């Protein structure tokens, strides 16, 4: 199957501005169309390893990202996201077109994939064991996730959405670029200089945002589901040593439920899926400041879980 990298920059821009591309991310196929240069540049850089469906066919999502018309085409230019022809969100400044693509893809999955329990958590895998990292914004979740998949020997399943299949309880991989914000961008850039970054976009509603390319090996294994064995609630605390504290299952259940997008929607099926997930996992709170200490701690956890 062809990948995005099989298209030249000019071919990619032409396809996106015309018939679109059928982009596969994990088990999802997106028909993406966009005439915005920032979107084409971001796709070419960060999605180079991702498969393209060669012939037109079924797509889970039909996504358009185009410049707003009227006066906004010339003055304070904006980008509009449409899914199946509808615009569920307000336009954003044109400079934010690629972050808008990433945010919109999260929205597409979280609003449609109800054959899974969808948890707002990073999820990584090592030696057959998946570790969930549920945490609120500002906790250092994405920074830790990036460090573990770039230099810690873990496979990226997702930076944002943990998809727990209702059918068998396995984690459905959705490896896409890792989103970093503000100071985390330079932390990871200095710590993993080999990482591939999108350009930083300033003044978003999340501050300054940049995305890191998912490891090629993680993208290549996007068809391999994993079983959860660890739930770790991370918190970055400046100056702290790495501290790992076991967590009661009842407390872990409630906190993961608070981070689930469709727990209430799924009713009893969501309760059962979450109960099995927590029962089969060791749960911890984790405070850290040093990424090196964090990597060592997670290596020990992986060995214990395996």
For 139-198, write each residue's pLDDT tens digit.
Answer: 889 999 999 999 999 999 999 999 999 999 999 999 999 999 999 999 999 999 999 999
Q: Looking at residue 202, what is its pLDDT?
A: 96
Of residues 136 and 275, more confidently modeled: 275
Which pLDDT belongs to residue 216? 97
Q: Which helix (H) or strand (E) holds 28?
A: strand 28-34
Contact 97, 38 (CB under 8 A): yes
CA–CA separation, 228 and 164 (whole Å): 9
pLDDT (tens digit per residue) in 35-72 = 999 999 999 999 999 999 877 788 999 999 999 765 55
Sign of the CA dihedral running 62, 65, 71, 73: negative
The pLDDT of residue 72 is 55
Is the pLDDT confidence value at 87 over 80?
Answer: yes
Instruction: State the angle between helix axes of 183-191 and 141-151 in degrees (0 to 180), rounded to the nearest 10.
Output: 10
Residue 56's nearest CA partner among 83, 82, 19, 26 is 19
Q: Whole-angstrom Cα distance, residue 88 to residue 104?
A: 10
What pLDDT score was predicted for residue 52?
96
User: What is the C-alpha separation between 129 and 135, in angstroms, rounded?
Assistant: 19
pTM, full prediction: 0.94
Strand partners, 23: 30, 52
Whole-number pLDDT of residue 297:
96
Pick from 109, 100, 89, 112: nearest CA to 36: 100
| pLDDT the model gives residue 73 | 58
Burial of 61 (0-12, 13-18, 19+ CB in 10 A): buried
Split at pLDDT 50, 70, 90, the class of 14 is: very high
Question: Would you state the pLDDT for residue 69?
Answer: 63
SS3 state at 103? helix
3-class DSSP string for 217-275: HHHHCCCCCEEEEEEEEEEECCCCCCEEEECCHHHHHHHHHHCECCHHHHCHHHHHHHH
Percentage, residues of the chain above pLDDT 70: 98
Q: How far is CA 105 from the centre of its chain?
A: 9
Contact 230, 131 (CB under 8 A): yes
Structure tokens that stand for 150 in this block? 């770039």
């Amino acid at each position: 199957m062809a990948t995005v990298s099989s298209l030249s920059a000019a071919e990619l821009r032409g396809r996106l501005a015309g018939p679109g591309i059928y982009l596969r991310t994990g088990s999802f196929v997106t028909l993406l169309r966009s005439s915005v240069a920032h979107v084409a540049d971001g796709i070419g850089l960060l999605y180079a390893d991702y498969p393209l469906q060669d012939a037109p066919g079924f797509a889970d999502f039909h996504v358009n990202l185009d410049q707003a018309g009227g006066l906004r085409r010339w003055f304070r230019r904006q980008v509009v996201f449409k899914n199946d022809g509808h615009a569920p969100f307000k336009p954003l400044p044109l400079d934010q077109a690629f972050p808008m693509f990433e945010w919109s893809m999260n929205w597409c999955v979280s609003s449609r994939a109800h054959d899974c329990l969808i948890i707002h958590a990073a999820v990584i895998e090592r030696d057959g064991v998946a570790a969930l990292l549920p945490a609120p914004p500002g906790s250092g979740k994405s920074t830790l996730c990036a460090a573990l998949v770039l230099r810690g020997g873990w496979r990226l399943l997702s930076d944002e959405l943990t998809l727990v299949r209702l059918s068998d309880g396995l984690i459905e991989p959705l490896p896409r670029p890792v989103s970093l914000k503000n100071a985390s961008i330079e932390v990871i850039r200095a710590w993993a200089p080999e990482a591939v970054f999108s350009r930083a976009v300033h003044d978003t509603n999340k501050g300054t945002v940049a995305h890191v390319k998912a490891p090629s090996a993680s993208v290549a294994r996007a068809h391999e589901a994993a079983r959860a064995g660890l739930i770790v609630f991370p918190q970055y605390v400046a100056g702290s040593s790495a501290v790992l504290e076991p967590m009661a299952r009842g407390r872990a259940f409630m906190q993961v439920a608070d981070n689930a997008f469709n727990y209430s929607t799924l009713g009893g099926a969501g309760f059962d899926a979450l109960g099995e997930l927590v029962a089969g996992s060791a749960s911890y709170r984790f405070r850290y400041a040093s990424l090196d200490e964090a990597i060592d701690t997670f290596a020990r956890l992986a060995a214990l879980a395996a």
